[in-house]
Structure 1
Amino acid sequence: MATPEFPARPADRRRAVLQEPPLSYRFTRADGVALAFYAGALMLLSLTPAALAVTALVPDPVTASYAVNFTFYLIAGILAFTAARAYVVRETRILATRPWLTLSVIPLAVIAMLVATMVLVLFTGPPQTAVNQEAAQGLLVSMSPWVIVPLFVVLAPFVEEYIFRHLLIGKLSRRWNLWVCCLLSLLLFSGIHVVQETEFSLAVLTPYLAMGAVLVGVYVWAGNNFMLSYAVHAAKNLLAVVITYAVPVELLQQ
C-alpha cells in the first residue's frame, strides 16, 4: 500500500505543516502595491465624494455608494490575496489541524469583543454611532444580504486583517518592537473607522478599540495567524448583518 503524501492523524498533520520551511516576513513589492492602493484609495474616498460621480451612471445614491465600496474592497482584496496567498494557504492548513480549537476560538473572541465594549463604555459613556457606521447601516437596511455579505463579511475583513495585522504586526514587528506594532495596529484600525468624523469623541472610538484589541490579541495568540483573526472579524461582521436583518428597522433606529 502506498504511503499517503500527507499524514492522516491531526497531530502528525500539524507537525508536518510546522516543519515546513518558514515563510519570510519581509515586505515585498506586492505588499507595497497593496498597501499603497489601500491607503491612497481610502484617502481619496475620504476627501472626495466618489459616490456622487457614480450617480451619473447609477441614479440611486445607496447603490452608488455600494458600488464604490465594493469596487474598492474587491481591488484591495485581489492585491492583498496576491501578496499573501502563501500565508493564506499555510495558515489555513495550520488552523485545519485543530478544527475544534479554531471553531471554539471564533465565537469566544466575538463574545470577548462585546464584553470589552461594555467595559469601555463604563469609562467613556454610552457609545456614539460613527459616520462610517451610519453609512454601513444604511447599506445594510437598504440592500439584499446577497450583496451585503460578500462586501462586509468576505472582502472587507480580509483586507483589513491583511493590512492591520499581517503587515503592521506580522511583518513590521521584524523591524520594530512587537508591542509597539500591536499598539500601532490598534490605533490605526480604530482611527480609520472614524476618519470622517467632524466632531471626534472617545465614545465614537470605543467599539472599534474593543474590536481591534481582541483581533490583535487573537492574532498574536495564534502565532501571527491572520487567517484566524480574519475568521473572527468576519464572524463579528456576520453577526451584525444577521442582527440587522433579523431586527425590525424601527427598533434599529431607536
Structure 2
Amino acid sequence: MATLQLPTKARLYRFSKLDAAAIIVYLGLSVGLSVGAPWLAQIVESLKLDPYTATYAVNLVFYLAVGAVALVAARHVVARDARILAQRPGFTVAMVPLAVVAMLILTAVLVIAGGVNPGVSVNQQGLEDLTRNVPLWLMGPVLVIIGPFVEEYMFRHLLIGKLSQKINVWICAGLSVVLFAGLHVVGKEALSLTTLLPYVAMGSTLVGVYLWTGKNVMFSYLVHAAKNLMAVVILYSVPVEMLQR
C-alpha cells in the first residue's frame, strides 16, 4: 500500500511553476492597476461608487488573487511550518507578541537614531482613511489575514527561503528588507528616511524571526499578522483626533 510522502527539503525550496504564476499575478496586477489607474477612476466615477469602497474592492481582489495562487504554491511549506509551531504552542504564544514588541522598539531606535520626525506616511494615512469609511469586518481579513500571508510568501519564502538556494542568504535578507520597505513607499510618496525607517524596522524584524526559526514562514506570518492586528485595533478604537496628533 502506497504511503503519502511529503516533498523533501530540497524540493520545498525549489522554485516551481506555481511560484512563477504567483509572481506573474502579483507583478501583473500591480503594473496593471498602476497603469490602468485613470481608467479605473473613470469607472468608479461613472458608476458613482464611493472612492473608499472602490479602493477596498481593488485591494481585496488583488490580495485574494495573489493569495490563492501563493497558498497553493506554498501549501507544503505552510503545512510543515504550521505543524512545527503546533508542536511548540508555548513558544509560539510567547514569542509572537515579544517579536512585535521587538519590532516596535527597533522602529523607535531607528527613528531616533535617524533624527527624523516619524509623522504620518501616505500609506498610513491611506489606511486611516479606509478604516474611517470601511467597516472592520471588511478591512480586518485583508489587513490581518490575507495581506500578511501574501507579503510573507513573497518577501520571506521566495526572496529568502528559495532564492537563498542560489544566492548568499544575507544578500537575500537585505534584498527582502529593501524591497519590502520600498513596496510600501514607492509610487505613493517621495523616498525619505521618515517614510522608509518604520518599514525597514518591520522588514528587518520579520526577516530576523524568519531566519531565527529556521525559515518558518508561518511564524513570520503570525508576527506580521499580530502587528497588523494591533494596528487595526488602534485604528478602529482610537479617535481620529488622537491619531493625527
* Fold similarity call, TM over 0.5: yes
Letter matched to residue 123 of structure 2:
N
Percentage of pairs with the same residue: 50
Tell me the distance in 2 between the aligned counterparts of 1:209 and 1:79. 27
**Superposed CA offset, 1:193-245 (max 9, x none):** 00124422111001100000000000000111111000000000000000111
Structure 1 counterpart of 2:96, from 92, 97, 106: 106
Tell me the distance in 1 between the aligned counterparts of 2:23 and 2:48. 29
Provide the residue aligned with 2:194 in structure 1.
203
**SS of alignment partner, residue 199 of structure 1:** coil
User: Pairwise mapping of residues 49-128 of structure 1 onto structure 2 (< 5 A)?
Assistant: 49=37, 51-55=40-44, 56-57=46-47, 59-124=49-114, 125-128=116-119
User: Pairwise mapping of residues 160-199 of structure 1 onto structure 2 (< 5 A)?
Assistant: 160-199=151-190
Aligned in 2, Cα 1:248/1:193: closer, same or farther, shift over 3 Å?
same
Aligned residues: 236
Please say if residues 15 and 162 of structure 2, whose CA atoms lie closer than 8 Å, have aligned partners that are also in contact.
yes
Structure 1 counterpart of 2:234, from 239, 243, 251: 243
Please say if residues 182 and 196 of structure 2, whose CA atoms lie closer than 8 Å, have aligned partners that are also in contact.
yes
Aligned in 2, Cα 1:177/1:59: closer, same or farther, shift over 3 Å?
same
Aligned in 2, Cα 1:228/1:54: closer, same or farther, shift over 3 Å?
farther
Aligned in 2, Cα 1:221/1:202: closer, same or farther, shift over 3 Å?
same
Please say if residues 54 and 68 of structure 1, whose CA atoms lie closer than 8 Å, have aligned partners that are also in contact.
no
Structure 2 counterpart of 1:220, from 189, 205, 211: 211
Please say if residues 23 and 87 of structure 1, whose CA atoms lie closer than 8 Å, have aligned partners that are also in contact.
no
- Tell me whether 1:39 sits opposite 2:39 in the alignment: no
**SS of alignment partner, residue 27 of structure 1:** coil
Tell me the distance in 1 between the aligned counterparts of 2:48 and 2:201. 36
Provide the residue aligned with 2:17 in structure 1.
29
Please say if residues 132 and 194 of structure 1, whose CA atoms lie closer than 8 Å, have aligned partners that are also in contact.
yes
**SS of alignment partner, residue 127 of structure 1:** coil
Provide the residue aligned with 2:126 in structure 1.
135
Letter matched to residue 78 of structure 2:
V
Deviation at 1:21, TM superposition (A): 4.4
Aligned in 2, Cα 1:139/1:100: closer, same or farther, shift over 3 Å?
same
Aligned in 2, Cα 1:53/1:172: closer, same or farther, shift over 3 Å?
farther
Deviation at 1:40, TM superposition (A): 2.2
Tell me the distance in 1 between the aligned counterparts of 2:100 and 2:42. 37
Tell me the distance in 1 between the aligned counterparts of 2:10 and 2:125. 40
Provide the residue aligned with 2:3 in structure 1.
none
Deviation at 1:23, TM superposition (A): 5.5
CA RMSD of aligned residues (A): 1.7
- Structure 2 stretches of 5 or more lacking a match? 1-5
**SS of alignment partner, residue 74 of structure 2:** helix
Please say if residues 153 and 238 of structure 1, whose CA atoms lie closer than 8 Å, have aligned partners that are also in contact.
yes
Runs of 4+ in 1 over 4 A off after TM superposition: none
